[in-house]
Structure 1
Amino acid sequence: MLPTVRELLDDQFAAADPQVLAGHGALDRTVRWVHSSEIYEISPLLSGGELLLTTGLGLAGVDAGTRRHYLREIAGRAVAGVVVELGRTFDAIPPDMVAEASRHSLPLVALRTVVPFIDLCRAANTEIVSREVRSLRLLNELAQDLVGELAAGSGLAQLLARIGAVTRCALIVTSGNGALIAAHGVDDDRSAWAAVESAAASAQIHARDNVWGTLTAGQGAAVDSATLAAIVDQSAPSLGLALANSGTPTGRPQVAAATLLADLLDAKLIRQADLKRRAGAAGGPGLAGRTLVPVAADAPDARIAARLIDTAAKELGTQALVAEVHATTFGILAMDKAIADPVGESVRVLRNAFAGNSTEGVTLVVGDPGEFTAAALTGSLEAARSALRLATRHRRDWLASSPISTCRELATELVVESLPATERTRLITTTIAPLIDWDTTHHSDLARTLEVYLRNGGSPTRSAAALHIGRQSLYQRLDRIRDLLGYDPSTPALAGTLLLALCAHRLATYT
């Protein structure tokens, strides 16, 4: 809540008839303190944020180069501005000083009416101190409110609402893998990611001595940037406590499972005998000799994700190794080798688990099946983690109709993400550029329409239902797409190329 240069000039300095000569675009800099000095070598004594008042006595009789050097050194200390009283040293500010201040975007102000500096400093610094006291009081009251919410067992949503009541800006919580976990003050995920991209302040959230994720504040806060940064820094630990309090159990099998899964995700070398021993200690003694299906889940509460995986394992009548690693819940389902489609069976039992549990805000990815070896598990877990990141950020509001996805469904995204940027650009340019140009100009959705159509096997009924439009409207869009492209996109030989290009465009749009 510190005042800006503009505010001080309009209020506390108004009687001195200030005239801004340079740095007009920087008048919204906050002022940390106001003081006066006539020392030429003042810059080493400045720490940034000061508004410096001077009569120019230290510049009396010096040449233009020396005056420029004086302002250049001050600008390098990140001061808020320089205010010069006219009539003692200068009848008018020399043009060389105005030019140098403009070059560094340094507010340079002339005071055309004499008002004692002590009066100006007293008035301005009293205002600064008063605002700092109000800011400290605000931070203290917010801290007490957050403690009260924690004591009441409140979760992320309630804590963000408390913080948002003070900041009045978007507040976004993302996990360590870049997934959107919770948001306040935005209407949809797209707006949430826009707030993250244009962040005004952010702070890491720690839970159980690990970096769990990030709290980000968007633009347009009701408080100044310094106070906003202080609020975000102060609030992040409370969010970490809420997350820690809602975490999964920490008994010995759970610790063993978390350690094993973390080592597998880090691709550490594990001998087969050690893998079997550690899996047994983690609660999965029967994994060997079975088909293993990895699961990666993103949820506001790790217990929700763990419960879903455990419920699915119980329906299968088999075991699951489940733990939270770096704010993501991972699981390994053990299945009978006689099951023809272990991925499809995993999706089926997980959907049944979703039907019987609270699953709001959960995104889950089923990975590719593999054998009971460290190398195979590392590869499948890593692929599931990458797919989860894509599912949470690029597909949740776009194509997916279910919170459950699979690596084989996301194979296109995974392949496109692995391509060099030049190859992605080439794919887009040589296949769907006319669609993108049309969508950009007319704010239409033809690229998405084509991708939905191709992903639904060219079925007008399924595609229209997925797009929430009538079949006739779909046909009109497809006709427009053919006209723009100059070829029939439903040609079977083009389906793979077009899906890759459309996916590359979508990922680039969301990145």
Structure 2
Amino acid sequence: MVSAVGVPLRWLTRQQDLRLRVLAGRGSLDRDVVWAHSIELTDPARWLNGGELVLTTGLRLAPDPAACQDYVARLTKAQATAIGFGIGLSHEQVPEPLVEAAEEAGLPLLEVPLPTPFLAVTKAVMERLAQLQYEGLAQASRIQPRMTRAALHGGAQAVVRELAVSTRTSVVLLDHEGRARAAHPPGAGAADGGRGTALAAAERATAAADCDQDGVTAVQQVRVGPRVHGRLLLTADRTLTPVDHLLLGHAASLVALEAEKPLRLRDEQNHVNGLFLRLLLDGAVSAAAGREYLAEGGFPVRDGIRVLALRGGSPRLALEAVGTELAERGLPLFGRVYDSCAAVLLPAGHAATAQTVVDGARARLRPRLSAGLSAPHDLDDGAAALTEARNAASVARTRGGGEVVSFESLAGRLLAALPETRRVLATLAETRLTPLAAHDTAHGTDLLASLRAFLEHNGGWEAAAAALGVHRHTLRSRMERVRGVLGADLDSAHVRAELLMALSAWQEPGDIGRRD
């Protein structure tokens, strides 16, 4: 609950020039007045927000006990701070039933003498409010540099401690999974009985607050842009002030910047690694130089490399998700976007890692990712590895499901593994498949993918159509267009075999060397 700055009622009663006299509720003079409101209605509750000093001359107030009890009850329900009753106009003195009702309810009742205009009371409250607001800002301006220095020298834990000490509250830093990463006083995270943790888990807004009989808890999201690093919880046994919330927000920003440091460095390193990968796959880097760079980057290269290709959704987001998964496994990201495909370099001995990395990326992004994995290659054969991975990913897309398709599991891989036959197959692919690719580009069709699904499913209409997510009649129509564009007899086993081998070597024009 965010509260406005308030003037302590006790302070107001001590202003000698106002000559206010406390008639009831002496035990509640520590309450704060957020505004002084002059109103003569018998039911002013509708015009109150809570925290007001209600000024009245009792013009419409009957002095009988029932009317006074009802009046006090309505003000108490509206959370008014106190009543200021002006005497000498409607009433020569404050009605005794009103004094008794206020005392019984614990609502402070102040007598305002006739020489003291209500305007003077209101002015005193306004001027004191302005003074308190200025003092609060001055206090915040002194604390914020201390918090910044704490962040520079002690990180998130020091920021949490400085915030807790400066605001005289308990502060806990939770990570994005709700685990306590820092707290002050020590053990503060367990001391709140889980109330703040539950609020942080339930509330998805940038900031939130909750109040109950145990106190107040404010929650501030720790984030930079779309990246959320956790939440800061501030718990107090009093009403929080705007200065408390201002400092909480400042602390959240400092903790977010602290958390961003390694991520920013990682992002920059990933960018450099992506540029290196492009040069490697272009053949612009020698195997010896590539091996040295990869080894220095913590990438195992003893057994060669594989390329993992991902299709579906945003390739850039796929790269980010895979990079996070690899980082958790102690592997650097060497990845780049090639047209609609994300390509990632993996050590040859980490084939099993590909499936777990892809599963983790799917869980983070929740798109329908199709993944293909190349066979092991030497560093000077990266272009072939990329082609294999992309083709395997295309097969994975036509098959559906969540399995990473390995190029080694595809028919015809032995031919594609030999440099001499690979050149032949590349020529075959360019000759046979370029017309289909050109037709897809010109007309927005998907004939290449349809042909691949048809051949991968041995001409089975139902299975191929299901893999593509279309009706079998739609697939039949597409295959008729394929026949027309290629001028080929797709009923011939020899033609199908030739086209399947061409697809295994097909490389979309401009993939290698394409800039992001």
TM-score (norm 1): 0.44
TM-score (norm 2): 0.43
Query: Highest CA radius of gyration, 1 or 2?
Result: 2
